[in-house]
């Protein structure tokens, strides 16, 4: 049977729960999906059918799920991330927590209580860490770059550019906090810190809501309350200058460009393409023709399988590198300050 996994949240808008289930099913007997909790039993049933899961406890109550599992994957709207994490940790469960944390929607002091709890096992699901291209980018930066001068990052999507898409929970501050800033900006700040060692010490930015009214959701709400796009720039603790652009209404994938003493690295994460143009630390760039590209494209499911394996290592007490709750809280406090300053 292995480690008993519980999935909380079975929504299909972006199907993140499905991706997590696939990641754990790829672990060759190390674990089993033992329970699913969602707003409706029908949502639980459909998730199980999609993945051929049998003998799974299905419930609409978190406590019932916690009774029968060893570890929990939280795929809910942001407003439930920290409250549900606290309830799971109080029961001694390990947690794989989807980003962003939902600091803006959490009760006061909840993040601090979780950080103060000794022995809590919480991994924050920054899944792009587990792509081949980011792994290679990180290795080259450590081997070749030296001091970083400039870092540029962008991420976005196109699904919500269609004005016909109805209002979703991620467009309401009470459920999501910020919009594209939290959803995509959190990924980019994590990648800049994890891969390039660039941690922002200060930043300022601007947000915009370009489709302020949507078709009504199930409760008749139509007003978009947070940002469709956000841009910000800042300075890292080591002096690197950074610029970040995110949009849920028209950017493609994740793109990183980092330059410094050892040259220039450009990565298109979704496409799996990495280009390195070398430079001598105390000299010029190599001729442009010496820039080399590596093609590291792979099925998207592999990143979730690698993340699932790392989480199981954490549950089993094995040494593993992962985004801790403390790191994620620090990152999202910066995003919260950016969001508040731009309103």
Q: What is the pLDDT along the chain (343 residues), one digit of tens a residue?
A: 799 999 999 999 999 999 999 999 999 999 999 999 999 999 999 999 999 999 999 999 999 999 999 999 999 999 999 999 999 999 999 999 999 999 999 988 999 999 999 999 999 999 999 999 999 999 999 999 999 999 999 999 999 999 999 999 999 999 999 999 999 999 999 999 999 999 999 999 999 999 999 999 999 999 999 999 999 999 999 999 999 999 999 999 999 999 999 999 999 999 999 999 999 999 999 998 899 999 999 999 999 999 999 999 999 999 999 999 999 999 999 999 999 989 7
Residues 185 and 289 in one domain: yes
Residues 203 and 119 in one domain: no
**Residue reference for tokens 């269609």:** 162
C-beta of residue 25 within 8 angstroms of C-beta of residue 305? no
Interatomic CA distance for residues 130 and 71, integer angstroms: 20
Tell me the CATH number at 282: 3.30.360.10
Burial of 271 (0-12, 13-18, 19+ CB in 10 A): middle
Tell me the CATH number at 25: 3.40.50.720
Q: What is the number of structural domains in the chain? A: 2
Residues 68 and 144 in one domain: no
Q: Which of 207, 212, 208, 214 is nearest to 164 (CA)?
A: 214
- Which tokens hold the place of 311? 């989480």
| Structural domain includes residue 307 | no
| Structural domain includes residue 320 | no
| Structural domain includes residue 324 | no
pLDDT value of position 1: 75
β 292-295/71-74 pair status = unpaired
| Structural domain includes residue 322 | no
Instruction: Write down which residue in 100, 125, 150 finishes a domain.
Output: 125
Q: Computed over its alpha carbons, how large is the radius of gyration of the chain?
A: 20
Residues 284 and 138 in one domain: yes
- Which tokens hold the place of 30? 């190390």
Residues 90 and 228 in one domain: no
| Structural domain includes residue 313 | no
Q: How far, in Å, are 95, 331, 332 from residue 314 at the CA level?
A: 10, 21, 23
| Structural domain includes residue 64 | yes
Distance of CA 138 to the CA centre of its chain: 18
Residues 195 and 291 in one domain: yes
Q: Which of 169, 249, 176, 175 is nearest to 208 (CA)?
A: 249
- Which tokens hold the place of 226? 């947070």
C-beta of residue 78 within 8 angstroms of C-beta of residue 175? yes
Interatomic CA distance for residues 304 and 98, integer angstroms: 12
pLDDT value of position 288: 86
CB atoms closer than 10 angstroms to residue 163: 11
| Structural domain includes residue 231 | yes
Residues 113 and 154 in one domain: no
Q: What angle do CA 178, 182, 184 make, to 5 degrees?
A: 135
pLDDT value of position 343: 78
Residues 66 and 211 in one domain: no
Distance of CA 316 to the CA centre of its chain: 23
Tell me the residue range of the domain where 218 lies.
Answer: 131-297
Q: Which of 79, 302, 301, 66 is nearest to 178 (CA)?
A: 79
Q: Can you point out the beta strands (E) in the chain?
A: 3-8, 31-37, 57-59, 71-74, 94-97, 122-124, 148-156, 200-208, 229-236, 241-247, 253-260, 263-268, 273-278, 292-295
- Which tokens hold the place of 137? 């980018």
pLDDT value of position 85: 98
pLDDT value of position 222: 97
C-beta of residue 320 within 8 angstroms of C-beta of residue 314? yes
């Amino acid at each position: 049977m292995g480690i008993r996994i519980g999935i909380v949240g079975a929504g299909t808008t972006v199907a993140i729960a499905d991706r997590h289930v696939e990641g754990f099913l790829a672990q060759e007997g190390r674990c089993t999906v033992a329970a699913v909790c969602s707003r409706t039993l029908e949502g639980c049933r459909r998730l199980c059918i999609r993945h051929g899961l049998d003998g799974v406890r299905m419930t609409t109550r978190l406590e019932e799920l916690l009774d029968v599992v060893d570890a929990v994957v939280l795929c809910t709207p942001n407003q439930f991330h920290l409250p549900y994490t606290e309830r799971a940790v109080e029961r001694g469960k390990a947690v794989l927590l989807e980003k962003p944390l939902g600091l803006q929607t959490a009760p006061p002091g909840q993040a601090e209580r979780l950080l103060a709890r000794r022995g809590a096992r919480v991994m924050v699901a920054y899944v792009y860490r587990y792509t081949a291209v980011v792994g290679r980018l990180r290795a080259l930066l450590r081997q070749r770059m030296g001091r970083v001068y400039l870092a540029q990052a962008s991420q976005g999507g196109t699904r919500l550019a269609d004005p016909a898409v109805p209002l979703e929970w991620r467009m309401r501050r009470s459920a999501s906090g910020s919009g594209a800033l939290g959803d995509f900006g959190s990924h980019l700040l994590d990648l800049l810190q994890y891969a390039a060692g660039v941690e922002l010490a200060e930043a300022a930015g601007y947000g915009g809501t370009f489709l302020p009214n949507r078709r009504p959701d199930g409760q008749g709400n139509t007003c978009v309350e947070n940002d469709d796009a956000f841009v910000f720039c800042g300075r890292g603790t080591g002096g690197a200058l950074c610029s970040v652009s995110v949009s849920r209404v028209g950017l493609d994938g994740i793109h990183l460009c980092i330059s410094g003493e050892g040259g220039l690295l450009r990565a298109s994460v979704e496409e799996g393409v990495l280009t390195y143009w070398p430079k001598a630390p105390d000299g010029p760039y190599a001729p442009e023709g010496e820039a080399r590209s590596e093609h590291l494209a792979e099925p998207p499911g592999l990143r979730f399988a690698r993340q699932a394996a790392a989480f199981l290592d954490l549950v089993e007490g094995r040494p593993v590198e992962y985004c801790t709750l403390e790191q994620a809280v620090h990152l999202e406090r910066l995003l919260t300050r950016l969001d508040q300053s731009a309103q």
